[in-house]
A = this chain, B = another copy of it.
């Protein structure tokens, strides 16, 4: 990284570029251009070049970008050139769907544990995982040294669970609960709330 402080809005676009590049690679393409990539993701070619050039000179004039090389660079930049362990908290319908989702492993993530506070669920299986008791969560996460959690508990419990997660050393939370979390700024939160996404579209209907 040669630049010092990259705006978050740029960081947010890199995973979208990476996803599109991996898709192109799966289709057998070897090189691409800012033009072509831009059309695929709906972003201007100039912006893509500018975003990428924040981190180095990864392209070649006249020919564009090697897809394989650019993927490698983006994975390093985003720190997904490794596998991050994650936990899921909340084994409801959403927790089940997330636990069964097959798309994490080749994007840099691996689920290692699932917790729920419902004693009747503890011990049950989801795929190859056994649901663990929330009471043991903090110590378990500490011993596993996990930094990323997915939160699929009811909104009413989300903040309390988030506080526990942070106490256990978690630094990134993907929050499926429909509520804004209060966290210090060394902890990152991303929100997945289908209603919020839908309401952002109804305005235009």
Residues of A at under 8 Å CB distance from B?
11-12, 14-16, 18-20, 23, 40-42, 77-80, 84, 86, 93-94, 96-98, 100-101, 103-104, 107-109, 147-148, 150, 155, 171-172, 174, 178-180, 182, 188, 190, 192-205
Q: What are 5 pairs between A and B in contact, CB < 8 Å?
A: A19-B178, A104-B194, A108-B198, A108-B199, A148-B201
* From B77, B80, B199, contact of A107 by CB (8 A): B199
Most chain B beta-carbon contacts within 10 A, residue among A18, A196, A200: A200
Collect the chain B residues with CB atoms within 8 Å of residue A101's CB. Answer: 93-94, 194
Distance in angstroms between the alpha carbons of A18 and B203 in the assembled complex: 13
Minimum distance in angstroms from A109 CB to a CB of chain B: 6
Given the known inter-chain contacts A12-B200, A197-B192, please indicate yes or no for A79 contacting B19, CB distance below 8 A.
no
Given contact pairs A15-B197, A148-B198, A171-B204, enumerate 17 new A-B contacts (beta carbons under 8 Å): A14-B203, A15-B196, A16-B196, A19-B179, A19-B196, A23-B179, A78-B199, A78-B202, A93-B97, A103-B195, A104-B198, A108-B198, A172-B202, A172-B204, A190-B200, A192-B192, A192-B197
Q: How many copies does the complex hold?
A: 2
Check A205 against B93 for contact (C-beta < 8 Å): no
Q: Which B residues lie within 8 Å of A200 (CB)?
A: 11-12, 14-15, 78, 188, 190
Residue of B nearest to A180 (CB): B41
Are the C-beta atoms of A180 and B97 separated by less than 8 Å?
Answer: no
CA distance A188 to B198 in the complex (A): 10
